[in-house]
Amino acid sequence: MKDQFHEIFKSKGINYFTQDQPMREFLNFFKFEGDSDIEELGKYVSEELIEIMDFVDHNGKPELITWNPDGKRIDYVRLSPEHKKALKRLQDFGVVIKSASGNVPWMYHFVSGYLISDSGIFCSLTLTAQTAYALKKYYKGDEKFLEHFLDGSDPWYGATFYSETQGGSDLGANKTRATETKNGWVLNGSDKYFASNAGIADGAVVIAMAGDKGIRSLVTFFMPAARKSGEPNFTIRRLKNKLGTVAVPTGEVEFSDSEAYLLGERNKGIYYAMEILTISRVDDAMAAVGIARKAFWEAYLFAERRATFGKTINSHPLMRKDITSLEAELEGAIILSLYAAKLFSDVVEVEPPYNDSYHYARFITHLSKNIAAWSSVHVTQYSMEIFGGIGFFEEFPIAKFHRDALVTSIWEGTSNIQALEMMETIAKKGVATVFFDDLKRRMERVKDTFLKEKLETRIKFAEEQFESLVKSGSFERGSKDLLKIFGNVLSLALLSEAGSELGSQRLIGISEIYDIISFENNRIGFEDLFENMELVNWMHKV
């Protein structure tokens, strides 16, 4: 049978690890090397995974089967055979097991997320990774649960059941109750409302209240999907219809004396819950920029071929400016997301009450998730526009990239939540001083005089805006603006430093464009730099 998927997806055959020049430069900058598995993963995604998940999205979404023919409640979520094979193939590449076992740093998992980036199937692996992370670090009982997650031949899958209808991100409003009995902990609650991986997960990290003191009564547990008796440990009420991320089943879960196992210490539940959530936030950022890269790469290849008014559309000055601007925006989001991944990877052994390095790593995750998510939405939307009318057609993969990007600003805390939690780290953990010191150290390593002066100006601007916000007393009202400013100036610092350290004139040029679009976007710029296709032509497919 003739395979013609390459006719509707021109990026098929690209190795997203070895051929992504900016990513390779950034990984070099952060001293990450990878291995043969991650190289094969980069190839597998474009040659097989994108086609599989595009088909699942349109024709093979997960289906909840509540009862078997004998009338037994089974709550079985059926996946298409190719979907199941893809999950196992990704596990074989070590996307979860290598980092969760401690054999390689967590950076390996995060970089893998960028390569996979399909925010449906990768969500299933993110949830699995953080469940394994929680068991390895905080479960003090029998190691059998962790061993299941690390079993390469038949690995378990995980989930996090946190949010409830009445609370959402307000975890202190949760109503699920935890009770300690002579036989162990049991949980009761009827409304875990955003339960992704429900029906796939063999076990989940669950939060519940064990008292009446709000957030201080929150306790974190591991809950296997099956009771000791082998019967289902919880029920799935329904699966939800979603705009995107169709591949990951998101359901509503109910507990009735459901068996659970305490993670860590009872009075530190909120700390564990938020630490585990941080893995998802880093993954969210990495997936967001990975989706954007794939969509933009595909759009770039289309722009090389599509002719209008007698020449290819990438020959028109306006389109050239748009393409270089989008590339700079995306590279700024990528390097910031990698920085967040690197910092968190370096502090995974730290436990509550945590240290300054952990608090700073957490602070950077808020910046990166915000910048990455909104950049992903913008880049994927404009990539559709490059295709013109056909960019809106579901028969081509480009529309799915945009739909899947939209959720990245919502999952694991909206931009408002990221802003508020960023301000909490500033007010209670004193990270602002660390942040500005970090920026200035990086500025001193920039060799390009013009860029260094620009960076110094932007750092002063960020300091002034921060001081103004502090004096105003309106922390909450201005927090999201500050979140964006901080993210932009750190992205500029990282791009500029990487360009200098690696001796990359391409990155220096990207840095200059990033500075303009981030801090002077209200002026009309006529810089020839915007038409320098040498900054982006690495995407050309030979």
> Could you report the per-residue pLDDT of 363-395, keeping only the tens digit for each?
999 999 999 999 999 999 999 999 999 999 999
Comparing 13-17, 50-54, 211-215, which segment has the lowest mean pLDDT? 211-215
Tell how far CA 527 is from the center of its chain: 34
Structure tokens at 129: 């990774």
Pick the closest to residue 53 from 125, 143, 148 (CA basis).
Answer: 125
- The residue length of the chain stands at 542
The one-letter amino acid code at 230 reads G
Measured CA to CA, the distance from residue 125 to residue 146 in angstroms comes to: 15
Strand 307-308 versus strand 311-312 pairing type: antiparallel
Q: How far apart are CA 129 and CA 111, in angstroms?
A: 13
CATH of range 271-539; options 3.50.50.60, 1.10.150.20, 1.20.140.10, 1.10.10.10: 1.20.140.10
Q: Which of 390, 283, 377 is nearest to 337 (CA)?
A: 283
CA dihedral 91, 92, 96, 98 (to 10 degrees): 170
Distance CA 376, CA 405 (A): 6
Residue with token string 């059941």: 161
CA–CA separation, 244 and 404 (whole Å): 5
Q: Are strands 235-239 and 250-262 parallel, antiparallel or unpaired?
A: antiparallel
Residues 75/232, Cβ–Cβ less than 8 Å: yes
Q: Sorting pLDDT into bands at 50, 70 and 90, what band is 468?
A: very high
For the record, the structure tokens of 61 come out as 């979404």
Residue reference for tokens 């690390």: 150
CA distance 139 to 264: 6
Structure confidence at residue 430 as a pLDDT band (50, 70, 90) = very high
Tokens encoding 367:
């910046």
pLDDT at 379: 98
Instruction: Give the closest residue to 330 by CA, choosing from 195, 182, 495, 463.
Output: 495
The token pair that represents 364 in the structure block: 């950077």
Neighbours of 405 (CB within 10 A): 31
Which candidate, 201, 198, 206, 202, places its Cα nearest to that of 222? 206
Share of the chain above pLDDT 90, in %: 90
> Above 70 in pLDDT, residue 460?
yes
Q: State the pLDDT at residue 490.
A: 98
User: Alpha-carbon distance 127 to 306, whole Å?
Assistant: 40
**What global pTM score does this model have?**
0.96
Q: How far apart are CA 178 and CA 208, in angstroms?
A: 6
Could you tell me the CA-to-CA distances from 446 to 140, 305, 404, 490, 512 in Å, in that order?
Answer: 47, 38, 36, 13, 12
Helix, strand, coil proportions of the chain in percent (round to 5)? 60, 15, 30
Task: List the structure tokens of 460.
Answer: 């002063």
Rounded Cα distance, 200 and 123, in Å: 12
Task: Determine the pLDDT at residue 115.
Answer: 98
Q: How far is CA 272 from CA 130, 275, 283, in A?
A: 11, 5, 17
- Of 163-172, 225-234, 398-407, 475-484, least confident by mean pLDDT is 163-172
Q: Could you read off the pLDDT of 177-222 as tens digits, one per residue?
A: 999 999 999 999 998 999 999 999 999 999 999 988 888 999 999 9
- Structural tokens at position 413: 């805390």
* Whether residue 476 has pLDDT greater than 80: yes
Place of tokens 């038409």: 531
Lowest mean per-residue pLDDT among 100-109, 159-168, 257-266, 400-409: 159-168
Question: Which 3 state secondary structure label does DSSP give 218?
Answer: strand
Which of 148, 235, 241, 162 has the alpha carbon at shortest distance from 199? 235
pLDDT higher than 70, residue 542:
no
Average pLDDT, the chain: 95
Given a cut of 80, whether residue 168 has pLDDT beyond it is: no
Cβ–Cβ < 8 Å for 215, 171: yes
Q: Please list the residues that pair with 207 across neighbouring strands.
A: 220
CA–CA separation, 506 and 197 (whole Å)? 41
Distances from the Cα of 526 to the Cαs of 316, 400, 512, 516, 523, in angstroms?
Answer: 14, 34, 13, 11, 10
Q: Percent of the chain beyond pLDDT 70? A: 100
Whether 413 shows a pLDDT value over 80: the answer reads yes
Measuring CA to CA, which residue among 223, 261, 263, 224 is closest to residue 139? 263
Round to whole Å and give the CA distance between 451 and 249. 47
